Amino acid sequence: MEPCLKEDSLAPFIPVDFPLLQKGDIAVLKLNDGLLVHRVIDKFEFRNHAFLLHKGDISPLPLVAASDALMGKVILEGERFRVRQSASLKFNILLIRIRLMLKTLMQNERDKTRLRR
């Protein structure tokens, strides 16, 4: 998402329902074991399932994600973060930090187990 967002930077986001997401919004998507931050290019339905077309600002090709991958929408004002002081936002940031810590701890344990073998 550079130049709008730097890689590995903290991107505050709020939960948003899929119908309220608009073209141009920066979405936070849960894909595989991590989170992906991409701009929404389009939304569409296929066989009663909702999808969104998304891509990074410098990515050459868009990707498709199911609506259930949507975690929220990044809060920005221009190119600067505008952090709203709400319990929901603070809770989301806390959850992300906890998930990252747990993922790191689990990876460290896997590495130790591999070294013992």
pLDDT the model gives residue 1:
59
Hey, is 92 helix, strand or coil? helix
Kindly report, residue by residue over 24-42, the tens digit of the pLDDT.
Answer: 899 999 988 888 899 998 8
The model's pLDDT over 45-78, given as tens digits with 9 standing for 90+, comes to 888 899 999 988 887 788 899 999 999 999 876 5
> Residue 82 pLDDT more than 80?
no
Q: How far is CA 117 from CA 12, 35, 94, 112, 113, in A?
A: 41, 32, 35, 9, 7
Q: How far apart are CA 110 and CA 106, in angstroms?
A: 6
Annotate 96-114 with DSSP letters as a single string.
Answer: HHHHHHHHHHHHHHHHHHH
| pLDDT for res 52 | 92
In this predicted structure, what is the pLDDT of residue 80? Answer: 42
**Structure confidence at residue 71 (pLDDT):** 93
Contact criterion met (CB below 8 Å) for 28 and 84 = no
